[in-house]
């Protein structure tokens, strides 16, 4: 009896080992859906990427020197999806391929610091899992597509240092997950859309060196988590709004190089965390200088 049960357990053990190895080999054999394989092929050729190993590959390993990564744990480890593309500073030319919109599991897309031109494709709006989108320092032009407002998981959006023009679409105000929005050094113009005031999680808003006009929208009073607000070098006008005092976490405020009217609301000097304040060249600055209030609260102010 004892002998029988021990050989039975050895048999079971061997069976188990066999099963495990089958399961393991299956998990290393998880494959990427055809849609994504084809999209990757198209993207690679449109961006003139050189080593294109994945043209024939079905599995997700070894893609483009780890600049493209997959997660292979979908459907009980049988299906992979492309989740990250990190193609910054890669001398990419051409325009952004709309096939990127077929990689719907992407969470991270970095195409910054290349030579990409033409428009930002609307298809990027389908990337509902995207958390980070970096497109800065290219030659992108045309307007910012309203479809980007559908990026419902996005936290970091960097489109600075391009040639984007026209107004910021109000729909960007739908991305309530957004933490950083950077649009610096483009050719954007018109009024700032009131919808941006709905971005209540926003901590950093960079808008310098564009051609924005009009007043700061009242809705911006809701941006109470802002730490950095810079709109240096635009064509903004109107009074500097006193709602800025509600931005309690503000560390950097840069309003220089616009047509704002003074005086600077004194409440701004009560912001305890403010350490960088760039104002000046206010119109109607009838007082020779601001009346400096006792700077008791502004212990960390560096530049004025
Ligand atoms: C991977 O899957 C294919 C077909 O689904 C099969 O022919 C091949 O043997 C598998 N490879 C491994 C290592 O399991
Ligand atoms: C890619 O997505 C577009 C819609 O955005 C669709 O028409 C097309 O069929 C998709 N391509 C593949 C290969 O699935
Ligand atoms: C891979 O995807 C699964 C299922 O969505 C998720 O639970 C897991 O955290 C992901 N792994 C990584 C490393 O992102
Ligand atoms: C964008 O740039 C291309 C050249 O790179 C030009 O042909 C096109 O007219 C420009 N589009 C806009 C909207 O400026
Ligand atoms: C933005 O949200 C509004 C409702 O707040 C909705 O009507 C609109 O369709 C949304 N737009 C986009 C592009 O998601
Ligand atoms: C911003 O929020 C207001 C009030 O909730 C809403 O009416 C408006 O449609 C929103 N705008 C956008 C662009 O989400
Ligand atoms: C800025 O916009 C105004 C009016 O919208 C226009 O008159 C002006 O030429 C623009 N300036 C630049 C530098 O584009
Ligand atoms: C400011 O920052 C603190 C800590 O960094 C955080 O707890 C708080 O929610 C932020 N927002 C406001 C409006 O104070
Ligand atoms: C600023 O905008 C006004 C119209 O609002 C325009 O007349 C003026 O040319 C603009 N200035 C610059 C430097 O673009």
132: pLDDT strictly greater than 60: yes
**Ligand 6 nearest atom to the CA of residue 176, by list position:** 14
Q: Is the CB of 275 under 6 A from ligand 5?
A: no
70: pLDDT strictly greater than 80: yes
193-209 average pLDDT score: 98
Taking only the tens place, the pLDDT of each residue in 72-121 is 889 988 888 999 999 999 899 999 999 999 999 999 999 999 999 999 99
CATH topology for 165-284+291-299?
3.80.10
| Domain chopping of the chain, boundaries | 165-284+291-299
- Looking at ligand 7, which residue's alpha carbon is closest to its atom 12? 211
**pLDDT for the residue numbered 19:** 43
196-210 average pLDDT score: 98
**pLDDT for the residue numbered 49:** 76
Q: How far apart are CA 134 and CA 38, in angstroms?
A: 23
Q: Is the CB of 71 under 6 A from ligand 3?
A: yes
17: pLDDT strictly greater than 60: no
54: pLDDT strictly greater than 90: no
Whether 124 and 97 have beta carbons less than 8 Å apart is answered as no
* Reported confidence tier of residue 32, pLDDT bands at 50, 70, 90: confident
Q: How far apart are CA 172 and CA 174, in angstroms?
A: 5
What average pLDDT does the structure give for the chain?
84
* CA torsion, ordered 98, 102, 107, 109, to nearest 10 deg: -30
Q: Which of 97, 98, 82 is nearest to 36 (CA)?
A: 82
Task: Report the run of H or E that residue 163 belongs to, with start and end.
Answer: strand 163-166
120-138 average pLDDT score: 98
Taking only the tens place, the pLDDT of each residue in 240-290 is 999 999 999 999 999 999 999 878 888 888 899 998 888 876 665 444 334
Taking only the tens place, the pLDDT of each residue in 210-226 is 999 999 999 999 999 99
**pLDDT for the residue numbered 131:** 98
Tokens for 300?
A: 């960390």
- Nearest-ligand number for the alpha carbon of 224: 8
Whether 101 and 123 have beta carbons less than 8 Å apart is answered as yes
- Nearest-ligand number for the alpha carbon of 165: 4
Task: Let me know how long the chain is.
Answer: 304
* Reported confidence tier of residue 29, pLDDT bands at 50, 70, 90: low
Q: Where do we find the tokens 């599991």?
A: 105
Distance 38 CA to ligand 4 centre (A): 28
* Strands (DSSP E) found in 191-258: 204-206, 211-214, 228-230, 235-239, 252-254
148: pLDDT strictly greater than 70: yes
62: pLDDT strictly greater than 60: no
Q: How far is CA 267 from CA 5, 93, 203, 278, in A?
A: 83, 49, 20, 16
**Ligand 8 nearest atom to the CA of residue 224, by list position:** 13
| Whole-structure pTM value | 0.84
291: pLDDT strictly greater than 50: no
**pLDDT for the residue numbered 109:** 98
Q: Is the CB of 78 under 6 A from ligand 9?
A: no
Q: How far apart are CA 136 and CA 184, in angstroms?
A: 9
**pLDDT for the residue numbered 112:** 97
Highest mean pLDDT among 16-30, 258-272, 284-298: 258-272
- Looking at ligand 8, which residue's alpha carbon is closest to its atom 10? 225
3-state secondary structure of 195: helix
* DSSP 8-state code for residue 87: -
**pLDDT for the residue numbered 203:** 98
Distance 25 CA to ligand 6 centre (A): 50
Taking only the tens place, the pLDDT of each residue in 152-195 is 999 999 999 999 999 999 999 999 999 999 999 999 999 999 99
Bridge partners for 229 per DSSP: 205, 253
């Amino acid at each position: 009896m004892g002998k029988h049960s021990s050989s039975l357990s050895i048999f079971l053990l061997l069976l188990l080992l066999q099963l495990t190895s089958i399961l393991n080999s299956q998990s290393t054999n998880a494959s990427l859906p055809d849609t994504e394989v084809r999209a990757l092929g198209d993207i690679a050729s449109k961006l003139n990427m050189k080593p294109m190993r994945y043209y024939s590959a079905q599995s997700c390993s070894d893609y483009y020197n780890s600049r493209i990564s997959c997660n292979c744990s979908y459907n009980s480890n049988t299906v992979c999806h492309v989740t990250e593309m990190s193609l910054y500073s890669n001398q990419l030319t051409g325009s952004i391929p709309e096939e990127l919109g077929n990689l719907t599991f992407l969470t991270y897309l970095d195409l910054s610091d290349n030579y990409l031109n033409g428009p930002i494709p609307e298809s990027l709006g389908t990337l509902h899992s995207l958390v980070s989108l970096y497109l800065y320092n290219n030659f992108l032009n045309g307007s910012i597509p309203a479809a980007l407002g559908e990026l419902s998981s996005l936290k970091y959006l960097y489109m600075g240092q391009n040639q984007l023009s026209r107004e910021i679409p109000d729909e960007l105000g739908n991305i309530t997950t957004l933490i950083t929005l950077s649009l610096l050094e483009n050719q954007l113009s018109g009024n700032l859309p009131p919808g941006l005031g709905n971005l209540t999680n926003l901590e950093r808003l960079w808008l310098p060196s564009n051609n924005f006009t009009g007043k700061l929208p009242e809705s911006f009073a809701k941006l109470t988590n802002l730490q950095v607000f810079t709109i240096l070098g635009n064509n903004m006008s109107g009074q500097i709004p006193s709602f800025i005092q509600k931005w309690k976490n503000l560390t950097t405020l840069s309003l220089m190089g616009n047509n704002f009217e003074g005086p600077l609301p004194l409440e701004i000097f009560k912001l305890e965390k403010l350490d960088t304040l760039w104002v000046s060249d206010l119109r109607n600055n009838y007082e020779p200088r601001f009346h400096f209030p006792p700077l008791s609260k502004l212990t960390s102010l560096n530049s004025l």
